Each structure stands twice: as C-alpha cells, then as structure tokens.
Structure 1
Amino acid sequence: MTSQLIDQHEYTRAGNLTRRFTEVYGHAPDGVWWAPGRVNLIGEHTDYNDGFVLPFAIDRAAMVAVRLRRAGEPNPEAVELASTYAPEGERLARARFTVPGLTPGADGDWGAYPAGVVHVLAGLDNVKVPGFELLLDSTVPVGAGLSSSHAVEVATIVALNDLLGLDLGRPAMALLTQQAENDFVGAPTGIMDQSASLMGRAGGALFLDCRTLESHVVPLPLAEHGFTVLVIDTKVAHSHADGGYAARRASCERGAATLGVASLRDVPADVDLAALDEETARRVRHVLTENARVLATVERLRSGDIAGIGELLTASHASLRDDYEVSCPELDLAVEAALAAGAVGARMTGGGFGGSAIALTPVSHERQVREAVLHGFAGTGLQAPDIFTVLPASGAQQL
C-alpha cells in the first residue's frame, strides 16, 4: 500500500510497539500497521440510508503489530491478541481464539473487533487465514464517537491483507469490515467509519456516496484559514450495539417502506410526510435535510468557504437533537457553550447517545472556547470533558 505522510511521533510509537511485541511474544512482529479514527464533519445517520457523508480521518489511531504463525509451530490456527488498553492493575488485556472456532456474537469485548475481521476473511473463497499474534495500541478515545472500534478493525484487515497477499482494494476492505461489524459484532453500522479510516487524506475530508461507494477528497485546509476543530469528549460512553442505534435504523426502514422506496435516498426533499406517524416523520426529515446539508458543505468547502460551513454544522446538531433524538444534555451543553464563546459552528458527531461534539473554531478563539465549555460543565456539576484538537490525517497503512 502506498505510504502517506504521517507524523514522526507515530513512527516512534511503532518502534515502541515493536519492542513491546517482542517482550510479550518472544520474537519480533512481521510489521506494524496504523489506522486512524475519524471525525464526521457532517452527515450523521445518513450512511445506512444510502446517503452522503463527509468524515475525515484524524491524527489519533489504532496501531497493531502482527506476526503470522509459521509452519510447524504449535497451535497453527490459534490467534493470540493483546492490548495495551488494559483494565486497571493489569499490564495487558488478552484474548485468544482459533480461526475455525469463531462464533458471531460470542465475545462482546474488544477482541470481537479483530475476531470479526478474521471471520469475514476466512469466509472468502480461496482464503485461508492462519493463526497469528497481535498487539494493539490505540490513541483513539474509547466510547467518544471517534470510531475507535473501526480503527481496530481497519488496522487488522490492512495488516492481514498485506501479510496474506490478498490484494483487496480499499472499498472492498471497507465492505468487509462493515460485514464484520454487522454480522459478527452485532452492531448495524453503515460504511462511513471504515471508509474514512481506509481512504482519508491529510488536509482533506472524504465525500462519500454511501449508495455507490464513490468517494472524493474535498479540501479541508483548516490551519491555512485560521481554524481548528475542537473535539469535546463528554465522557458519556455510548455503544452502537445497544438498542437506540438499531431503533433509529429500523425507523428509517419503516419510513422508506411506507413511502414506497428502497431507501430514504430515493425520497425527494419536498416529499409530503403526512403518511408517516409523527416520530417516523421526524426521523425521515432529519435524513433528508442532513443529506442536503452535506451537499451544501461540500460546495462551500470546494469554494474555499471554511467559515461558511459553520451554520450547517449547527443546523445538523439541531436536527439530530430534535428530529433524530440522539443527542444528550452533555452534548447539547458542549455545543451551546462553544457557540457562545466564538465557535462558528458546532455539532455532536458520531452515533450519539453520548460521545463527542466538535466545534469549528477560529484559532484566535480556541482558548476561550475551551474555557467556556469547561466552565459550563463545572457549573452544572458534570464531569469535565476532554477537549483536544484534531487535524485531517492520512488513511490506514503500514509503518
């Protein structure tokens, strides 16, 4: 895979992970692979409705060191996993399985993500996945809506694709990791997160048509225009495998069926929603207006109007809060405080029910926005959020 620009710090991380792998398993890995998390700039809950999304890969990533088992080694079909993201008091989190013994839904812990990738690859024609050893380290916050689980899946599939010589294209790997998430992990997610992690580019956002899977990089030169994206991690954990996400998806499917179309992508923007019950109509209205906001955002970015997308981000949050009902008080507070302190736009990002908000902020206002958000949370007795900046980063690759 083509090497792309990555910060030198990540190569230092890779060297440290290689040494740690050698300590854990007694020999060096075959290589180290890197897959970023993502921020969805705009286009929420549109991906599984065949709509449009505009995520960007971020400079926080999952990293895996991997070594395939050699012929003649004991337990040739055994997969051993270790992660530096370990429970308090433990050096490493561990998981183990055999390739033939994988059962969808059997393991709901972190090991389910690489296991799901192994399961879908092993199901391909003429592909035999041997046992291997893997050590994971990630800087993508867990439960923050930045796609930490997909980063693990993408790092795993890119590593195995290279090591096994499968020659899978990136759109194919996105579909396979979506299949792993849907069928093995049991989370009915769309195609956006994997695509951003696989096909992201430094300095750009990925405009993705989730029906055709066609994608284009749209310029997102934040620093050049004096802007930054602040991520406000509310620390309210969420999970795509819970009932709220699945319920929203089912509601969209009912709406499409009632309107007589295959998906909400086929519904015209001026459709009469009177045939739908009130809740379903609100869900459908969000998807239709959100698709329009994505297209408008792309148009403004292509014309170089960074500040002009702010109002679209804020309108997206209002729709997610009121029509799709996937926000929460902490996310609403983060958005309101950021806007009041000088952010030009802000919204929740990710599936919702917790996680993070983003604020498009002039660099000159970054400090006051941070302070206003922290003050707002402190004033309501809430746990202080983590606040950090992210930049558009390169897609998954070997280091």
Structure 2
Amino acid sequence: MKINSDSSTNLQKFFGNNQTLTQASSPGRMDVMGGIADYSGSMVLQMPIKEKAIVTIGLRNYNQLHIKSLDISSNNEVYIDLDALPNDYKEAKQYLQNIEGGDWATYIIGCYLVLKNEKKIKLGGLDILVESSVPVGKGVSSSAAIEVATLKAIAELFSIDLQRTELPKLAQKAENLVVGVPCGLMDQLASFLGENNKLLPILCQPDKIFDLVDIPKNLYFVGIDSGVRHSVGGASYGEVRTAAFMGYSIIAQKMGVSKEKIHELSNKESPFEGFLSNISPSMYESNFARSLNSMYGKDFIHDFGGVTDKLSTIKPDVFYNINACTQHPIYENLRVNTFLELLKNLSNQNHTTLLPIMGELMFQSHESYNKCGLGNEMTDKIVNMAHSEGFESGIYGAKITGGGSGGTVCLMVYGEHGLNSAKNLFAEYQRQTNQVDLVFFE
C-alpha cells in the first residue's frame, strides 16, 4: 500500500515530509492444532489474530538500512552499512550478533538479505519503520508477522513478483539461516495466507495449502497468555526437533537405507517421502516404536550416523527423548485431521456430541507436548483449570500453542457462555499468579 509520510506524526518524524512510502501489515497467528509437528510434515490448523505488525519503508539516499522499532524502549534504532553486511547467511548472522539492536533487527535485515540473494535483485538503501501489536514471546508468531510484513513492503516497493507461497518460504529462510531459529514454515504461511474467522489447513510437506475453513457460528478459539516467555530459539525446541529427525533416521535405516546414504536422499527417494507424519500410528506401533530408544547424541552418531534435517544439530552430550519426539507428529497428524473433519461437520444440533471429542484431541496434543519436553507448569495450570471447568462452562478443549515451553494456551469455547467462562478463567489465572501484564487473545 502506497502512503505519504505526512499521514501520521510517527511517519513524519522518521521519514521527513512529502516522501512516498510503502506500508504492509501482517497478523500474528493462533496455533489451534498441529504446532511443532509442522517440521515433520503434519497437517496443521492456524488462525490469524487481530494483533498485527506494520512495516513502512522508503528509499534511502545512502547505501544503508536505517531501521527503527516503535515497540522497543532501548537500542530501538539500527544503522546497517550494506557494503559491510556479508552476503553469506552464516557470516551475516555472526556479523549481526555483534551489533547493538541486532537481536530484533536481524529478522528484518535477514528478510532484506534473503530477498536480494534468492531473487538476485539489486536493492539499495532503505528507511524501515516497524510497529507491532503482536506481543513478543507469547507463542503467537510475532517474528513471522514482522518478516511477512517486511517482505510484502519491500516486494511492493521494488515491484518484485512473488508466487503464492514464495514469500513465506523466503521469510522462513531468513529466520532459519540469518536469525538462526530452526522454525518450520507454518507460522509464515499462516501470517501470509490466514483470514479472519477462518482456519487455514496446511499440510507441511512443505506447503500444501487447503481451502480455508469457516469457523462455525458460536465457536471461538481464544488464547490465554501464561506469562512465561516462549522462544523457538531455545535449546529445548531445537533438541525436540533434532530428536524427531533422529527417530526418522532410525526408521529409514530400519527400512534399508544405509547410514552413509541418509544425508543424500531427496524426499521423493526417502521412506514415507521424508516425513514422519506420513506414518500411520498403527504402523508406527507395530513396526518401529520398539526400535526407538532414547540415547545420548554421541551414541546416535556412532550407531546411526546423522539425520536428514540440515537445521538439526546433534550434540554428543545431550540425552535425546527420541521415542516421544518421533511419536508426537505421527499421532498429531491423525489428531489434526480428525479434528478438522469433526469441525467441518459441526452444527448447533450436534455440538454437544462433537465438541467433547474435539476437545479431547486438544488435551491429548497438550500432553504429547509435555512428553516431548516442551511443557511448562504455568501452561499446564491453564489447561488444568480449563479441564476442571467442565463442558457445562462452555470450555471444551485447551492446549499449548506453537513451539511450547511457555507462551499461550489456546482454548476452544462454545457460545457467549463459553467465551465469558474463558474470560473469567483468564481473570482467575491472573489473580492466582499475581501477573498483570498478560494478554487475552480473541
């Protein structure tokens, strides 16, 4: 969207007078079902939230990126000399780690660098102003919202044509390779393609998008902030991801792939096309579950060599919970597909029959997170409070969202009574935990 710098005080202060600017926005997302199973090829169900990131950009006369965030109190303004910024992603990551403000600005700079490199386009200096109402560390994809908005704005400014899922893939590459976070593609796709009052089904292999599904009238998915900061960059998320790919490697080798060849296979050549979620639970239990023992990284390297995932790092002295982390996406894919079919058939006449089943699938998903090691006592507290309320409250299900280890809990509620019950639960959680700066997402 083209705007003029005189349209607001913040824009005028940053860009000056009478400058033509490009502005784009993108929402955060609520992970209703699927979560961390995205990198294993599962179906996921995502919903945009009302909070969004807004990125405004204009051309700069210097070969420089001048970036400012209106949401950060200190180190909120960064200048990047583009002649000094390495083109290589790994080198750029290291370079930006040593710059004040580089922690938050890397998400934006990474998008600029990836777009320039992957599209082989010469981009000049830019002024970039960022304002986001998507809370950071709440598990609702604040980083994806900023990445997608940044790429949308730059692409419009330079008239760069990006195909349907190309922009989210570039955003993911920026986060994986420049920021250094091993996230899946789910968040960026949801932020880019999501629509209000609809669920976006994605089969993460890697980006098979299905038709948006209307959320039935009287059904609400709301979020309660646990107050515990979530980060997919944390060691536990990376270890759970690595453990899942260790499980896949064991399964592939059990099916005849040699450990020397495990790195070389494309998805089409690999068992189950390279995705754990293509294994049915019954096949997993009968053929593979007993072969998946938890072990130290050094023992796995000795016995099985490596994994197919380039973003996984096997640490020799870390003990990996291989069975639970492998099992999660296999069962989660079944849970998500079952949830989706029930949702499509939900009506006022059958909601008392179907919603308890859908809610149970959410509770099961939450417990599976815990088994993988991505639970948290405060998110457990919210889920347990939701469970205790019972169906008569209108609260039918609850689960931790996104990467786990804190963040937000998604509740499924029915009717105004259920929505009010969720708000009362939020207020009670605030009272019990003595936390005032929490967010209720609806």
* Same fold at TM > 0.5: yes
3-state DSSP class of the match of 2:178? helix
3-state DSSP class of the match of 2:322? helix
Matching of residues 62-81 of structure 1 within 5 Å = 62-69=53-60, 73=61, 75=62, 77-81=63-67
Q: Residue in 2 aligned with 1:314?
A: 363
Deviation at 1:301, TM superposition (A): 2.0
| C-alpha distance after superposition, 1:87-139 (max 9, x if no partner) | 2xx6x811121334331242351101100101101212441111111111111
Give the distance between the partners of 2:326 and 2:346, measured in 1 at CA.
31
For the pair 1:333 / 2:381, whether they are aligned, the reply is yes
Give the distance between the partners of 2:362 and 2:117, measured in 1 at CA.
40
Deviation at 1:383, TM superposition (A): 2.7
Which fold has the larger relative contact order, with Cα–Cα distance below 8 Å and residues 6 or more apart in sequence? 1
| C-alpha distance after superposition, 1:183-233 (max 9, x if no partner) | 0000000000000011112221111111151212332325x2x23222111
For the pair 1:99 / 2:62, whether they are aligned, the reply is no
Q: Residue in 2 aligned with 1:42?
A: 33
Counterpart AA for 1:367: N
Contact 1:42 1:313 in 2 (8 A): yes
From the CA coordinates, give the structure whose radius of gyration is larger: 2
Q: Residue in 1 aligned with 2:334?
A: 292
Cα gap change, 1:258/1:198 in structure 2, threshold over 3 Å: closer, same or farther?
same
3-state DSSP class of the match of 1:250? helix
Q: Residue in 1 aligned with 2:9?
A: 19
For the pair 1:280 / 2:270, whether they are aligned, the reply is no
Matching of residues 255-274 of structure 1 within 5 Å = 255-260=247-252, 261=271, 262-270=274-282, 271=284, 272-274=288-290
Deviation at 1:22, TM superposition (A): 1.3
Give the distance between the partners of 1:181 and 1:33, measured in 2 at CA.
19
The TM-score, its normalising length taken from structure 1, stands at 0.86
Deviation at 1:352, TM superposition (A): 1.0
3-state DSSP class of the match of 1:274? helix
My pick for the range that moved more, 109-118 or 366-375, is: 366-375
Q: What CA RMSD, in Å, does the superposition of the two structures yield over aligned residues?
A: 2.4
Deviation at 1:16, TM superposition (A): 9.6
Give the distance between the partners of 2:146 and 2:198, measured in 1 at CA.
22
Counterpart AA for 2:161: D
- State which of 340, 343, 346 in structure 1 corresponds to 2:398: 346
Q: Residue in 1 aligned with 2:219?
A: 227
Counterpart AA for 2:385: A
Deviation at 1:281, TM superposition (A): 1.0
Q: Residue in 2 aligned with 1:139?
A: 133
Task: From the two aligned structures, give the one with the greater helix fraction.
Answer: 2
Deviation at 1:385, TM superposition (A): 6.4
Cα gap change, 1:375/1:263 in structure 2, threshold over 3 Å: closer, same or farther?
same
Matching of residues 1-399 of structure 1 within 5 Å = 18-27=8-17, 28-69=19-60, 73=61, 75=62, 77-87=63-73, 93-102=76-85, 103-105=92-94, 106-107=96-97, 108-222=102-216, 224=217, 226-260=218-252, 261=271, 262-270=274-282, 271=284, 272-278=288-294, 279-304=321-346, 308=355, 309-321=358-370, 323-341=371-389, 342=393, 343-362=395-414, 363-376=416-429, 378-379=431-432, 381=433, 383-384=435-436, 386-390=438-442
Give the distance between the partners of 2:67 and 2:437, measured in 1 at CA.
31
Give the distance between the partners of 2:193 and 2:233, measured in 1 at CA.
25
State the identity as a percent. 27
Contact 1:34 1:64 in 2 (8 A): yes
Deviation at 1:147, TM superposition (A): 0.3
| C-alpha distance after superposition, 1:153-204 (max 9, x if no partner) | 0000001111111101230111111110000000000000000011112221
Q: Residue in 2 aligned with 1:4?
A: none
Deviation at 1:333, TM superposition (A): 0.6
Give the distance between the partners of 1:368 and 1:57, measured in 2 at CA.
22
Give the distance between the partners of 1:388 and 1:320, measured in 2 at CA.
22
Deviation at 1:376, TM superposition (A): 4.2
Counterpart AA for 1:19: T
Give the distance between the partners of 2:57 and 2:440, measured in 1 at CA.
30
Contact 1:234 1:384 in 2 (8 A): no
Q: Residue in 2 aligned with 1:393?
A: none
Give the distance between the partners of 1:33 and 1:19, measured in 2 at CA.
18
Contact 2:205 2:275 in 1 (8 A): no
3-state DSSP class of the match of 2:93? coil
3-state DSSP class of the match of 2:161? coil
Structure 2 gap ranges (5+): 86-91, 253-270, 295-320
Counterpart AA for 1:276: L
Contact 2:6 2:12 in 1 (8 A): no
Structure 1 gap ranges (5+): 2-10, 391-399
3-state DSSP class of the match of 1:123? helix
Counterpart AA for 1:22: Q
Cα gap change, 1:265/1:62 in structure 2, threshold over 3 Å: closer, same or farther?
same
The TM-score, its normalising length taken from structure 2, stands at 0.78
